[in-house]
Amino acid sequence: MKRLFRPDHFLYLILLTVSANSFLWLKQDLRVLLFVIPAVLAVHIFPGMFIKNIPEERLRVCYHGASLLVIFLTATVFSVIFHVILAVRCFPSDIWTWIWSALLCTAIQASVFWNGIITVYCTSKQLGFRFRALGLLCGMIPILNLIALGIILQVVLYEIDLESDKAILNEKRKAERLCATKYPILMVHGVFFRDSEKMNYWGRIPAELEKNGATIFYGEHESASSVADSAWELALRIKQITIETGCEKVNVIAHSKGGLDMRYALSHTDIAPFVASLTTVNTPHRGCIFVDYLLEKAPKSLAESVAATYNGSFKILGDKKPDFMAAVSDLTASACRKFNEEVQMPDSIYCQSIGSRLNYAVNGRFPLNVSYPLVRYFDGANDGLVAEESFPFGEKYTLLTVKGKRGISHADMIDLMRENIRDFDVREFFVQTVAELKQKGL
């Protein structure tokens, strides 16, 4: 919120407060309108327009809307105080003066509010459905509407600050090309998703890496297959990239099951010479005990029905041979024990792992807030799907979380919800991770 308080805001606050509470002057002399109309127009048009440290047009417009809302809130406090004092003077003999003054004040301030809220709703990417719905549901309820507005402002102002600082930082270090690794980055998705440049599984992360010099490719393999089948798909994809670009090798960043797929590919296919490094992100290297339990206890008819529905749906979406049950079965703790006995990593490849932890279920996004307690019961501390003890792999292991109740979920680690999390910038984390690969000469 560091960009919020500017000297000119106090000028607009004074203009709005005086204009909204000008009925007594207007009653005596209508020429006061020559001040009121330009003053109100100035409040509507100018706040946030001349700020220079917000580099993106969308954010500047959003900041304008947020400025209007802050000015509205502050002016409302002064207006309420003014009308309480005016009520003492006017009641009961001159009640109509008070009513007309209150109506004029409400009309002027409402116009500023609606200008601000519509602008913010149209330009903010972080409000999402839940905060917009909160504003609509609480909008007509006194006190709650002010609380909701405060929450909306907090989210929007944090977005403006964070995104502006990121843009300025990226511009300053543009020449450094922090993420221009010797070999390009191959990003490998997890189970039940597809990846592509247009519908990105990795959220805003690839674009941030590219701004800092990275070259990005995607695995483009089936959304759900056995580890072995996915591994062969990825092997073909890596060969395709090296042949088409002449890059010799790739640095692989693999999320969730994608990490198992790549480990199998490096052990059981001939692509090891084409891979410089493997970074696994929230990968269940030791499997998930709760998946064993679900497969054991779930009625066979239910499992078959879910699998048939999934496979049929993803065939429509582009998968050639989706196999829900094969993918899920390979994520069990029992399957991963066997997997770890059979899979050996070549010494020539630098390997590291990253994991994260949710702190409380209530602060995760659906459906991870629902699965978190179940996984915790069977596996202990987890990210909503994978246990903390299942993450470590390779020469370096990094566990991430944030203070307080929220934590960082399985989906947060790939920016799936495009959500700005306080105290954890997932985009910058991956920039620094890739920058370290560059420093290693990879």
State residue 194's pLDDT score. Answer: 81
Helical axes 289-297 vs 333-342, angle rounded to 10° = 130
Q: Which of 133-142, 309-318, 330-339 has the highest mean pLDDT?
A: 330-339
Report in angstroms the alpha-carbon separations of 413 from 130, 148, 224, 296. Answer: 21, 28, 20, 29
- Among residues 286, 244, 288, the alpha carbon closest in space to that of 263 is found at 286
Backbone angles phi, psi at 120, to 5 degrees: -65, -45
State residue 253's pLDDT score. Answer: 98
State residue 307's pLDDT score. Answer: 83
Report in angstroms the alpha-carbon separations of 248 from 230, 231, 234, 439. Answer: 22, 19, 16, 18
N- to C-terminal Cα distance for the chain?
39
SS3 434: helix
State residue 310's pLDDT score. Answer: 86
How does the average pLDDT of the chain come out, rounded?
90
H helices of 21-94, in order, are: 23-28, 33-45, 57-90
Are 264 and 237 in contact by the 8 Å Cβ rule? The answer is no
Mean pLDDT of 244-269: 96
Q: How many CA atoms lie within 13 A of 394 on its CB side?
A: 22
Q: Indicate the DSSP class of residue 196.
A: -
Q: Report strand pairing: 250-255 vs 216-218.
A: unpaired
What is the C-alpha R_g of the chain? 28
Report in angstroms the alpha-carbon separations of 83 from 11, 24, 262. Answer: 21, 11, 69
In sequence order, the 6+-apart residues with CB closer than 8 A to the CB of 197 are 206, 218
| Helix H or strand E segment including 14 | helix 7-20
State residue 297's pLDDT score. Answer: 78
Report in angstroms the alpha-carbon separations of 409 from 129, 163, 190, 295, 393. Answer: 19, 22, 14, 23, 19
- Among residues 411, 440, 394, 438, the alpha carbon closest in space to that of 205 is found at 411
State residue 363's pLDDT score. Answer: 58
State residue 140's pLDDT score. Answer: 79
State residue 255's pLDDT score. Answer: 97
State residue 357's pLDDT score. Answer: 93
Residue 313 binned pLDDT confidence (cut-offs 50, 70, 90): confident
SS3 331: coil
Q: Indicate the DSSP class of residue 7.
A: H
Phi-psi region of 363 (alpha: psi -120 to 50; beta: other; left: phi over 0): alpha
Whole-angstrom distance, CA of residue 263 vs CA of residue 336: 12
SS3 307: helix
Whole-angstrom distance, CA of residue 340 vs CA of residue 308: 29
Cis peptide before 92 (omega within 30 of 0): yes
The 10s digit of each residue's pLDDT in 80-103 is 999 999 998 888 888 999 999 999
> Which range, of 46-60, 178-192, 324-338, 383-397, averages the lowest pLDDT?
46-60
Residue 362 binned pLDDT confidence (cut-offs 50, 70, 90): low
Position 26 pLDDT exceeds 60: yes
The 10s digit of each residue's pLDDT in 133-163 is 888 888 778 788 888 988 999 999 999 999 9
DSSP symbols for 101-148: HHHHHHHHHHHHHHHHHHHHHHH-SSSHHHHHHHHHHHTTSTTHHHHH
Residue 268 binned pLDDT confidence (cut-offs 50, 70, 90): very high
Residue 174 binned pLDDT confidence (cut-offs 50, 70, 90): very high
Mean pLDDT of 227-240: 96
H helices of 355-402, in order, are: 368-379
Name residue 220's amino acid.
Answer: E
Position 314 pLDDT exceeds 90: no
Q: Which domains does the chain have, with CATH numbers?
A: 7-170 (no CATH), 178-439 (3.40.50.1820)
Are 437 and 251 in contact by the 8 Å Cβ rule? The answer is yes
Mean pLDDT of 416-421: 90
| Helix H or strand E segment including 353 | strand 350-356
Are 255 and 283 in contact by the 8 Å Cβ rule? The answer is yes
